[in-house]
Structure 1
Amino acid sequence: MSMLERIAGSNRMSRYLELPARLHMRPKSTQISGEVVGDSMFRRQRDVMDHLISPTAKHFSFDGAGTGSAARPTESVTPEDYDEVGWGEKSLLELSDSIRACLRHDGSGGPDIPRLSSFLVAAVQDEAQWGQPTLDLATIEHARLDKLLAELVHFGESLRAKNPHFRPVPAQELPLQLRIDVSNAKRLRRLWRRRFREQYFMMDQHRCAILVEGGRLKDVSFDNSLAYDLGKWLTKVGDPISELEGNLQFDPGHWWLNITCAERDGIVASSLETPTKGRYGITALPLLTGREEIIRPNVFKYIREGRAADMHNSLIGQVGRQIRVLRGYRLRSIVAPQAGIRYDGLFTIRQYGYKQDNKTNVYRLELTLERVPEQKKSQEEIEDIPRPSQLDDWALYEKLEGDQIKLLKGETTYLGWKLRRQEEKIDRDEWRRAQLFRASFEPIGGV
């Protein structure tokens, strides 16, 4: 097998086997101000790229200057080599998520803007100058590069429209690097649309198929007959796995589309909002509804109201012990995920108590939880999850669920479901903004 064949086979999915064997681009370097990079790093990058570039194809060097054909050593190439120079599937997905998250959070590209600029230049040159472009559709789809380009273009257009006098900002008044990046994003998107045609516009349909067949919804089926308010999904419980395997499988920040997917993987034993020991004998508590207050850093008070059966009585004997805590997007907490269900790590139950309102006969549970220190991810890192690519899957999941309701129950039921979802989202967003506003004026514990 030739080197080109090994390169082409490393990232290609079976759906795109008919595409021509790809080359691997050589990105233009970007100097970050205030940061000194050793010559050894650049020598190592050049050595790796020498292995990735075809011995016959024309390519461009790190300084942007074009070079002709040259003989290259035919050494073995691994996926780690692609990630080292930043153009592997994993590295590109991380870059895409990082840029998109920063654009949504504060309107900046964050610390990865130099990498983005370098990638856009390299990708445009790769498409425009080479006979066999580097990136295939599978890599673009996996790394969500189509979403990245769309958000960059939208950001550039919206920035021009933001003006105290509601007049568009002329393009020449935008920062130079931003204008270059947005221009390259537009050009690259046009080139990809021309090369892939309808396949480019159907990537979400293919992502949805992957979601069901072997992705986040694997072995989970929709059942509209269920009356459970938190979901209408079922799964078959798999074979038991040892507790050691279970502990290795779930790291803080693990994310699911719904509680049934968490049940499928064995972290909980039920899709109901109740403490269970799951498949591995470790107690897990899903906080899907109710509300949560921050008492002090890493210490939280969970409050829940309802019937006596909803008071998690089994936790009385767990005070002082560690349990796994999952948080859902419907939980009224400023640390709850934007969507889906997230495993937030190990917590110690510090206090348990509940009381009954004699006037309404409603019970109120108060549970004090302290996060176990020195876990693999900090609380701040966990709060960044779900990432933009995961939110892409969430949007496809909601569309899939809506399509199932429309198909099985009709248009009227679907419109009612969609309206309730929109009202819930508006209510959650307003509550979260109010809590964050209060938190900006109050010390932690007053939220």
Structure 2
Amino acid sequence: MKQHWFFGALASGRRLAWISAGSLLVSSMAATAASEIQVWHSLNPYNKKVFEGLVKDFNKDQKDVKVELKAFDTPEAIEAALAKAKKREDKPNLVQLDDARSRDDIAKRSYIQPLHALIAKYPVKDAKWFISDNNTFSRDTKGRLMAFPYMVDVPVMFYNIDAFKKAGLKPTVPERSWKGLQDQLVTLANNGSRNCPMTSDQTVSINLENLAAVNKQPYASAENGLTAKGSPTFSFDAMYIRHLSMMISWVRTELLVKPEFDAVAAKRFANGECAVLLSTSSNIGWFKDAKKLDFAVSGLPYYPEVTQKPGNPFVGGSALWSISGQSKEGDAASVEFLAWLAQPKHAADWFQKTGFLPLTKQAFDQTDKSYYKNLGDWQSLVAVYATSPVVTSRGFRISNYPKIKAMFQQKLDGAFNGKQPAVTALKSASAEAGQIMRER
């Protein structure tokens, strides 16, 4: 059995240290034959290819464990397959699940084994996570890691440098204020980017969740639900009303192509059709691989009237969750695979080739400055997540949030389509969210 590194101190969720000498063997691995484990995921085509390459290397690197991948088109398809899986052999050992601000609900599922519980059974050596342990992503209320934070991303602003040059904008970077960006979009629309000055595939993230975080405002009461004894509340005040009203006007004047999903918006940007895209950082690898696309990355826009300096968006994305009820050999093999992914070289490759945030501090430190050369503000946008976040960007915990988010999406779509003014859409969204929170 190959020796490996991993992340300890998961029970406390606090200080972790990288130990440079030796490692412990996973005790229950079968020595005579490879243990096979199955990993389910729903990565986009580009990131899927990167992941498949890493898994291929892992399978070649040792003989004790063999990883088989099963790809799904959407997270919803994974959820449906999990619901149908009754026998142990029908279930994966590890599965990619969206965080969806409902990690406590996921942990309560009968077939889920929290990561800290798995590591307690198969202890391994320490390393240091990149994302601050004060961030709530994939952690329970005690700060313990519930899942392997591998597909972690943040929303960013992508911009097409050639489009900015063609429009005569100097410097060829987007304004960080929403008003300044609006002026630039008008110029872009009048000088080569009329069909798509800006688009997005993250409607709720950009216009509600991270409108709060980037402007250092609470998204919900009780420190975004983290200290709530009952149900927190959403109070979409004047900032939200003003912002949504402006977005509605942008859609009406075609400065903003209505947000599109199923990778439509990202594909248009990758093809050079759009000047600005608000999307997740996990598209960086795909865009770097796109032909004839000269792009860079900036932070999300903010309102200087609300905050002098922009805050940081919430961490989002998904993680690899461990499925309970597997054999001892299967659980040990899962840890062996995760430990391999956490090794500095492999973790650095994943970060650099995809745009997901670094898994470990070592992965970030091993990334040469040349990687960031043509990526605008990406290095500084990443670095802040190693530091302890302020209360407005730690994360949020809302009961039944996936259902609430789907409802928010419908309200925003209706507003963009002219069915309701901003104030009406936001008022009804807040009221309905309160009702959904109380559902059992």
Q: Normalization by structure 2: what TM-score?
A: 0.30
Give the structure with higher Rg (CA). Answer: 1
Structure of higher RCO (CA pairs closer than 8 Å, 6+ residues apart):
2
Task: Answer 1 or 2: which has greater helix percent.
Answer: 1
